[in-house]
DNA sequence: CCCTGATTCGC
DNA sequence: GCGAATCAGG
């Protein structure tokens, strides 16, 4: 596997979104966790809550072991030694893009400036949040009118990873890395990251027991079987 | 043990 | 540039 632009974009997006290297590697496929980490560092992105590098302002007492003969690596390399590097300039906080409707900002799964609360990665590579992070299943102030769920003709072309903005539906279609992977790109339900149609998929009301209907099929054929 | 990311270094 | 091996912390 080679690092195509698509794969790099997915890597960046997921990495910055807080997905773990394992998740990214699993989603990309064909690469190991180490490959993802190595590539991420080569790309310049780095430094996310690392379990190993939690502390910095302390001279860590390395192993005062006896002079190791030279089993494999003669030079002792400190794994956690870094110069006082300034914190990476995080993306600016998202301003309330659509405050007009009165609907407060919802938990947008915007990966470029998201809290590291990602729990898992969805079938399309989007970042799925935990149940606790997804506040109200049915948010207030629904639109008065349902807009047609069809993608607008102005976005006839496929919405790529880089075409995402606050106004297009960011529901993934297909799988990242595949040639036809794109996003819905339809007009968003104001205040939400998805269009009306996909909002219905993303936020499902919890019906009382016994009154449940079978869940609708996944849009992209479900998780990739590997 | 499992997980995580960081780093090195041969390719 | 790539990534397996390795390290180190949780």
Residue A3: per-residue pLDDT: 92
Residue numbers of the domain that contains A191:
155-208
Residue A14 lies inside a defined structural domain of this protein: yes
Residue A37 lies inside a defined structural domain of this protein: yes
| Cβ atoms A130, A119 nearer than 8 A | yes
Nucleic strand C under 7 Å from the C-beta of A75: no
Strand pairing report for A182-183 and A172-173? antiparallel
pLDDT-based confidence at residue A145 (cuts at 50, 70, 90): low
The total number of structural domains that make up chain A? 2
Q: A71: number of CA atoms within 13 Å, CB side?
A: 4
Residue A63 lies inside a defined structural domain of this protein: no
Return positions of chain C under 7 A from a protein CB: 1-10
What's the pTM value of the predicted model, to 2 decimals?
Answer: 0.43
Q: Which residue is nearest to nucleotide C7 (CA to C1')?
A: A79
| Cβ atoms A153, A137 nearer than 8 A | no
What percentage of chain A exceeds 90 in pLDDT? Answer: 7
| CA gap A196, A147 in Å, rounded | 7
Residue A118 lies inside a defined structural domain of this protein: no
pLDDT in tens, A164-198: 677 888 887 766 656 666 777 788 888 887 888 77
Does residue A12 surpass a pLDDT of 70? yes
Nucleic strand C under 7 Å from the C-beta of A81: no
Residue A21 lies inside a defined structural domain of this protein: yes
| Cβ atoms A109, A127 nearer than 8 A | yes
Residue A192 lies inside a defined structural domain of this protein: yes
- A50 CA, B2 C1': separation in Å? 16
User: What average pLDDT does the segment A28-42 reach?
Assistant: 91
Q: Is A170 left (phi over 0), alpha (psi -120 to 50) or beta?
A: alpha
**Angle (nearest 5°) at CA A135 between A121 and A195:** 65
Residue A13 lies inside a defined structural domain of this protein: yes
Residue A221 lies inside a defined structural domain of this protein: no
- A53 CA, C10 C1': separation in Å? 11
Among A35, A33, A31, A2, smallest CA distance to A19 is for A33
Return positions of chain B under 7 A from a protein CB: 3-9
Report the footprint of strand B: residues with C-beta closer than 7 angstroms. Answer: A 20-23, 33-34, 37-38, 40-41, 46-53, 73, 75, 77, 79-82
Q: List, in order, residues 6 or more apart from A90 with CB less than 8 Å away.
A: A113
């Amino acid at each position: 596997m080679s690092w195509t632009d698509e794969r790099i974009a997915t890597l960046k997006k997921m990495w910055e979104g807080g997905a773990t290297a394992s998740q990214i590697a699993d989603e990309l496929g064909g690469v190991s966790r180490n490959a993802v980490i190595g590539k991420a560092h080569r790309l310049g992105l780095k430094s996310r809550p690392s379990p190993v590098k939690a502390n910095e302002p302390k001279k860590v007492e390395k192993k005062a072991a006896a002079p190791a003969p030279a089993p494999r690596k003669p030079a002792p390399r400190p794994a956690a030694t870094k110069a006082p590097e300034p914190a990476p300039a995080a993306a600016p906080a998202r301003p309330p893009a659509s405050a007009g409707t009165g609907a407060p900002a919802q938990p947008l799964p915007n990966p470029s400036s998201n809290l590291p609360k990602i729990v898992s990665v969805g079938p399309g590579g989007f970042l799925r949040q935990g149940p606790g992070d997804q506040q109200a299943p049915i948010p207030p102030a629904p639109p008065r009118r349902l807009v047609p769920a069809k993608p607008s003709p102005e976005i006839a072309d496929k919405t790529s990873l880089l075409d995402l903005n606050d106004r297009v539906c960011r529901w993934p279609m297909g799988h990242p890395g595949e040639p036809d992977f794109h996003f819905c790109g339809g007009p968003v339900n104001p205040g939400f990251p998805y269009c009306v149609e996909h909002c219905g998929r993303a936020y499902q009301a919890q019906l009382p027991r016994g009154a449940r209907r079978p869940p609708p099929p996944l849009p992209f054929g479900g998780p990739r079987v590997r």
